[in-house]
Structure 1
């Protein structure tokens, strides 16, 4: 289907941390991937040798349906014409969304018209590499070695914006898209590949709007990818799901002998050396991020909790706070700035109330906080010459990154599954080449921040 110079996949990620998760899956599979902050033009793609996959890091997960349509429609229109057999709308692996915020159903409605020859949209959310599984339509996620049904997950069932109270992905999606959603269940994915393909064709003949794939193990994950890839021979296909789509496709591409193009390393072949200091900025309220912050403080990081008043002040930089962070970094210390310490932190409610008082409603808070953190992060980086930074929080990371003047990212090294260290591409020479790790609230080991600081590779 493709030569070594053709694109295999284009994707749009509904938040930045999820976008780097997808990029990592592709890059670790051997397929050079560039992640852009806006849909790339052909001239932009020519700057990078041997690209096999391209992504656009978005922020639709934090958007209302109207805002989502404005962001996603032009991106999908361009990606549908970019020449890739598959265009993927990348969701979180825990599928957190709602009719009001980050509606995956709305994303499907907005994107389908650009794929006129396609009746059924494949949906694949499970990702065994990340501890995410789908069985008979029910979704499960691992945390601390235990696997929980999504509506009983200790974090996702209590998400501050989109709590997951329904584990059946079909029922959850129907709240956002009132159309038929079929299922390719785990038993139908069992057996001879040709028999499975025949079952898949029969499912397509029923013409459901969406077809969900169960996911349990790598073998059937690759088989699902084969079904999706071979269907794309009929014309470009629109697919929805987590980075399980990327893990599935890279596994199948290797089996099918579809090579990644030879190319230079993202860092030009230079070694990645440990950093003497880093800045970690967290807009996440998850229990996972809480543990990571506490672990970092125990490992010698300096911590600064951002006051609610500083977040809410539109007009002034928090000079005292920034000055302290800059002093510590210039003294060789690593620093973590954070807005909240876990889902029970009283600062969450206080921040919402303070923002509401200045006219920032719940759906706008992620962007507002992210842009504040982004401006502060760039200021600290420029005044300290810092070259390695961590941003934690899927809902805010995209807005933080956009304030930093970045146009592209490429994976440098894996740190924790779904949260790699990346190289920054920027027209601003001061920012170009910065090493950046973006981490969603549910990703990373307790010592993630120290792992980023100490990361090294040849």
Structure 2
């Protein structure tokens, strides 16, 4: 097996987001859930290892990421990629900075970039400040995130608080000059003692230029946007075909359902749009704490309705409702109750014949994928920027193939849950 690009993602939907971008750019890509226990097939250009390390203790995040790196090195990867969210989700102490520095050290490298920009989804960086649409990150809905509230849009400042080295800025005045100017600025920043530089980006053309300038960089750290600019480097090196079709999935069937745990503004709108036309069942952490039979009730409700069309099971709620539940139960307990309930519902839905499942939210996706015993995904066609359909490739033999769309909470148009099924049909 010769893998060109080895990627480490700090959550499940983020991993799928990155893998989808690579497939869109012509790289045959698989996403592995956790560190693989055995070799993968030979028809793979990129591997994305999905960890659940965004909000775990920093030492655990570093250890898991280094273990993933070792596996990717053994697979012969030519370049490595640490992927985090396009909203730079992290706490004051990490885990983005500490993981990036640990990977740099393990690779014997002195310099890398930090660039969560994803213009197609409204994430841009200017003068080191991250924007979500027209709003600074600190003014967006991310300031209310229950686990990683982002209250500072200045990424240089956020990153500097997390790392031992020096954070720098490669601003747009350089980026707009193209690849050569960016490369020259990389060298200057490294000479100044900077080990991680935040890079401005306002458009896909900027990402292409930045990606080209990163061709010889052992480690790239970014959101999924930079993935647009990396495959071209492998083509220039003659190791990736120009005409490769990478997004074909094997046939799937079965019934359809949506499970939503994200409380982002985007997902709130998507839940409302689906509720208007399809039956829905609400999962509330306070009810879960009072009534241990709530999951059974959800599956009993589903049994008589699932054959009539997609059903929605959701814990999505407003920031005020989330804070109320956290105040009464504690943040960790409220999250655990919801994740365990939604994962149990997913298992029950598969037993009822569901074979095409959408899951919204990174933490929820991680819980569902783990509960279903899935260890790998074949990446297929894009539904919306950053969200592809996938098919589980390592379930038990004899089981029905399972199509999964793992959606980051912030991604997708308001009608995402309604239109995703037609995109899957087109790919079969």
Say whether the fold is shared (TM-score over 0.5). Answer: yes
Establish whether residue 152 from structure 1 lines up as the match of residue 139 from structure 2: yes
Post-superposition CA distance 1:263-290 (Å, at most 9, x none): 786534x5x7xx7852111111112111
The aligned runs of 1:301-312 (5 Å cut-off) are 301-309=278-286, 311-312=288-289
Partner Cα separation in structure 2 for residue 418 and residue 424 of structure 1 = 18
Q: 2:304 aligns with which of 327, 332, 343?
A: 327
The aligned runs of 1:404-419 (5 Å cut-off) are 404-419=372-387
Q: 1:449 to 1:188 in 2, by over 3 A?
A: same
Establish whether residue 29 from structure 1 lines up as the match of residue 22 from structure 2: no
Establish whether residue 445 from structure 1 lines up as the match of residue 413 from structure 2: yes
Residue equivalent to 1:341: 317
Does the CA-based 8 Å contact 2:179-2:210 persist in structure 1? Answer: no
Please state whether the residue corresponding to 1:229 is helix, strand or coil: coil
Q: 1:314 to 1:411 in 2, by over 3 A?
A: farther
Partner Cα separation in structure 1 for residue 421 and residue 247 of structure 2 = 21
Residue equivalent to 1:359: none
Establish whether residue 284 from structure 1 lines up as the match of residue 271 from structure 2: no
Partner Cα separation in structure 2 for residue 372 and residue 174 of structure 1 = 38
Please state whether the residue corresponding to 1:281 is helix, strand or coil: strand
Establish whether residue 389 from structure 1 lines up as the match of residue 371 from structure 2: no
Partner Cα separation in structure 2 for residue 287 and residue 18 of structure 1 = 17
TM-score by length of 1: 0.85
Q: 2:53 aligns with which of 55, 60, 71?
A: 60
Q: 1:195 to 1:23 in 2, by over 3 A?
A: closer
Q: 1:369 to 1:227 in 2, by over 3 A?
A: same
Post-superposition CA distance 1:52-95 (Å, at most 9, x none): 10011111113122332343232223224432222111100010
Q: 1:111 to 1:191 in 2, by over 3 A?
A: closer
Partner Cα separation in structure 2 for residue 430 and residue 172 of structure 1 = 48
Please state whether the residue corresponding to 2:168 is helix, strand or coil: strand
Question: Deviation at 1:195?
Answer: 4.3
Establish whether residue 140 from structure 1 lines up as the match of residue 109 from structure 2: no
Structure 1 unaligned residues grouped into runs of 5+: 357-361
Post-superposition CA distance 1:365-408 (Å, at most 9, x none): 545532332122112211x1111011111232112211111011
Partner Cα separation in structure 2 for residue 66 and residue 38 of structure 1 = 17
Establish whether residue 244 from structure 1 lines up as the match of residue 235 from structure 2: no
Partner Cα separation in structure 2 for residue 264 and residue 249 of structure 1 = 15
Partner Cα separation in structure 1 for residue 332 and residue 65 of structure 2 = 17
Question: Deviation at 1:6?
Answer: 3.4
Residue equivalent to 2:345: 376
Residue equivalent to 1:76: 69
TM-score by length of 2: 0.90
Aligned residues: 425
Please state whether the residue corresponding to 1:87 is helix, strand or coil: strand
Partner Cα separation in structure 2 for residue 417 and residue 263 of structure 1 = 18
Establish whether residue 181 from structure 1 lines up as the match of residue 167 from structure 2: yes
Please state whether the residue corresponding to 2:124 is helix, strand or coil: strand
Partner Cα separation in structure 2 for residue 205 and residue 125 of structure 1 = 24
Q: 1:377 to 1:263 in 2, by over 3 A?
A: same
Q: 1:10 to 1:320 in 2, by over 3 A?
A: same
Partner Cα separation in structure 2 for residue 405 and residue 23 of structure 1 = 20
Task: Say what the alpha-carbon RMSD is for the aligned residues.
Answer: 2.6
